[in-house]
């Protein structure tokens, strides 16, 4: 079993207080979703604890970390590094700095902001937990989405993607090609 106490201490040092609190909330929300949807709770806790581990790096560090380690950076990611690059960089650090070897956990971290087509259950759980954790207050339809999350992962994922895209459209945020691809894929395949 992963040493959650150690990981928690490391994240407490690495993150600002509010981001650390969000991290704990995501970890426990992901674990509760894992219990309901028959996914390994240790993996969900680990993914939750580490998902934003690169979120508090300054932008220049974030970009240089990606460049130095040959992580591909798109133009949209470069324009929105705090929002988009922390997931990719976080997955890299989870492996290199925090010793995670499980690819499912690493992918859950890597795609927690944009999602991707054909997500695993763990990937969906982290993506959803990040959106619904109790500290989140402002997103549209939160009450409905929180209930849905404990019943149907795919339906919830699609609803969040839909709301995220319409939020980005109203705020003029640039849409990452992976966010769009994920939305298109789940729109096409949804039952
Ligand atoms: O790191 P968190 O704040 O906990 O949450 P997150 O990693 O899910 O997302 C960070 C932000 O990225 C959030 O405000 C939603 C936004 N986002 C998701 N997809 C896209 C995006 N922002 C842009 N510009 N483009 C996207 O495609
Ligand atoms: Fe994040
Ligand atoms: Fe987060």
155-187 per-position pLDDT tens digit = 999 999 999 999 999 999 999 999 999 999 999
Ligand 1 neighbour 29 (Cβ under 6 A):
no
Closest approach atom of ligand 1 to CA 174: 24
What mean pLDDT comes out for the span 86-99? 98
- Half-sphere exposure (CA, 13 Å, Cβ side) for 120? 20
Ligand 1 test: best mutation among 113, 119, 125, 145, most atoms within 8 Å of CB?
A: 113
Tokens of 101: 């070897």
**Whole-angstrom Cα distance, residue 143 to residue 150?**
12
**How large a percentage of the chain has pLDDT more than 90?**
96
**How large a percentage of the chain has pLDDT more than 70?**
99
What mean pLDDT comes out for the span 126-149? 97
Ligand 1 neighbour 164 (Cβ under 6 A):
yes
pLDDT band of residue 1 (cuts 50, 70, 90) is low
Ligand 1 neighbour 91 (Cβ under 6 A):
no
Is residue 67's pLDDT more than 80? Answer: yes
CB atoms within 10 A of CB 111: 22
Is residue 15's pLDDT more than 80? Answer: yes
What mean pLDDT comes out for the span 110-114? 98
Is residue 191's pLDDT more than 90? Answer: no
């Amino acid at each position: 079993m992963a040493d959650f106490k150690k990981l928690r201490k490391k994240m407490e040092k690495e993150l600002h207080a509010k981001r650390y609190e969000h991290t704990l909330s995501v970890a426990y929300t992901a674990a509760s979703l894992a219990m309901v949807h028959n996914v390994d709770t240790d993996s969900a806790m680990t993914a939750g604890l580490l998902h934003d581990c690169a979120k508090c790096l300054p932008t220049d560090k974030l970009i240089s970390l990606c460049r130095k380690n040959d992580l591909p950076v798109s133009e949209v990611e470069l324009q929105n590094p705090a929002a988009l690059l922390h997931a990719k960089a976080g997955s890299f650090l989870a492996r290199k700095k925090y010793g995670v070897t499980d690819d499912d956990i690493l992918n859950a971290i890597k795609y927690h902001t944009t999602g991707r087509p054909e997500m695993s259950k763990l990937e969906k759980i982290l993506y959803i937990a990040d959106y619904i954790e109790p500290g989140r207050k402002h997103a549209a339809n939160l009450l409905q989405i929180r209930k849905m999350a404990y019943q149907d992962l795919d339906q919830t994922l699609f609803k969040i993607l839909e709301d995220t895209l319409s939020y980005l459209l109203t705020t003029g945020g640039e849409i990452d090609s992976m966010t769009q691809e994920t939305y298109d894929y789940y729109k096409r395949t949804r039952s």
